[in-house]
Amino acid sequence: MTNIKAIGTEAATTPLHSLNIERRDVLAHDVEIDILYCGICHSDLHAAKNDWKGTKYPIVPGHEIVGRVTKVGAHVSKFKVGDLAAIGCIVDSCRECDYCKEGEEQFCENGNTIVFGSPDKHLGGHTFGGFSETIVADENYVLHVPEKLDLPSAAPILCAGITVYSPLKHWKTGPGKKVGIIGIGGLGHMAIKIAKAMGAHVVVFTTSNAKAEDAKRLGADEVVLSTDPVQMKQQSKLDMILDTVSTKHDVNVYLRLLKVDGSLVLVGLPAEQLPVAAFNLVGGRKSFSGSNIGGIAETQEVLDFCAEHNITAEIELINVEQVNEAFERLEKGDVKYRFVIDMASLKK
């Protein structure tokens, strides 16, 4: 085992602070990564504050990890020392169930291992995330980072990017499709870029007039102020709407905008229940669906897709001393559009 520095907390009411944690020694199929950058996701905030009532403390958040390989195990074939590498939400799974065999480890029937807060099969206790100096993972759950991507702004692709890419792909976004995106935050701004690169007509719904111009800069074809009933009434017959909002909101107003057989797909994770009126579904054979990140192969796919289309996140780069301020600002929605931590400041 190796003792390393990390940033985390032992309680929902305690700010993030310096911790020492253990990483396992590199096993035969393992890769050790020196973490260069780690994005901050709304899920990190929810988990640290125990909003979903399942957090295991102490917690070290972070699941948008980009770094460089420093060690490889004796049987590693996919990476070598010096390679750029990345880790997202999943660092292991059962590898035997139907979903794992299909490359959809996010739905592992026997329980996948999330980068933080999952039972640690090797050291006992639970796993720790990317707000740390280094991480060790099986090579089969580590991603290659295309050289042309800017590393800090590529980090959010590991969660925000795959979280929107997977449903856009699954619901066959492309030329001739009209796709709505609710919210222009960490997820939403990536969804705009990716849906546009896929060839869709992109309609963005926002409560903020101030974000309208930015949505167009990001690639939106139309921007609708969702608090304006007139603008909302003018919209209809969307093939799909991707809902990226992580706070309580009325999904029924968006279900009404779908065409027959259209889907409203939730990728934001509000802590509260979202009521759905039955007639908004049955009147048009509509679906209210959900999507959860993506498998390892699909995460590599989105990294390659973003490199091909020159897509990265819009970020604010911070050092570790600014993490608590970043959490406070994230809770208020005060970020355009993703915080990323420069982990070099942890290693001083």
What pLDDT score was predicted for residue 281? 95
- Same domain assignment for residues 6 and 99: yes
Domain edge (last residue) among 290, 308, 334:
290
User: What CATH number is attached to the domain comprising 241?
Assistant: 3.40.50.720
Backbone dihedral region for residue 261 (phi beyond 0: left; psi -120 to 50: alpha; all else: beta) = left
d(CA 40, CA 62): 6
Q: Is the dihedral of CA 46, 114, 37, 11 positive or negative?
A: positive
- Residue 216: both structure tokens together: 């167009």
Structure confidence at residue 82 as a pLDDT band (50, 70, 90): very high
* CB 268 within 8 Å of CB 243: yes
What pLDDT score was predicted for residue 210? 83
Please provide the average confidence, as pLDDT, over all residues in the chain: 95
User: What CATH number is attached to the domain comprising 80?
Assistant: 3.90.180.10
What pLDDT score was predicted for residue 216? 94
Asked if residue 271 has pLDDT above 80, the reply is: no
- Number of domains comprising the chain: 2
- Same domain assignment for residues 28 and 75: yes
- Same domain assignment for residues 146 and 213: no
The stretches of 64-181 forming alpha helices (DSSP H) are 98-101, 151-154, 160-170
What pLDDT score was predicted for residue 213? 87
- Same domain assignment for residues 95 and 144: yes
Structure confidence at residue 42 as a pLDDT band (50, 70, 90): confident
- Same domain assignment for residues 133 and 234: no
d(CA 131, CA 37): 9
Which residues, including other chains, have CB under 8 Å from residue 334's CB and lie 6 or more apart? none
What is the span of the domain harbouring residue 285?
160-290
- Same domain assignment for residues 306 and 255: no
- Same domain assignment for residues 171 and 143: no
H/E stretch holding 300 reads helix 296-308
Tell me the longest C-alpha to C-alpha distance in the chain: 64
Structure confidence at residue 150 as a pLDDT band (50, 70, 90): very high
Asked if residue 347 has pLDDT above 90, the reply is: no
- Same domain assignment for residues 171 and 284: yes
3 state SS of 4: strand
- Same domain assignment for residues 122 and 37: yes
- Same domain assignment for residues 93 and 208: no
Q: What's the whole-number mean pLDDT along residues 200-219?
A: 92
Question: What pTM was estimated for this model as a whole?
Answer: 0.95
d(CA 156, CA 163): 10
- Same domain assignment for residues 154 and 164: no
Backbone angles phi, psi at 113, to 5 degrees: -100, 110
- Same domain assignment for residues 14 and 127: yes
Residue 315: strand pairing partners: 338
| pLDDT tens digits for range 63-74 | 999 999 999 999
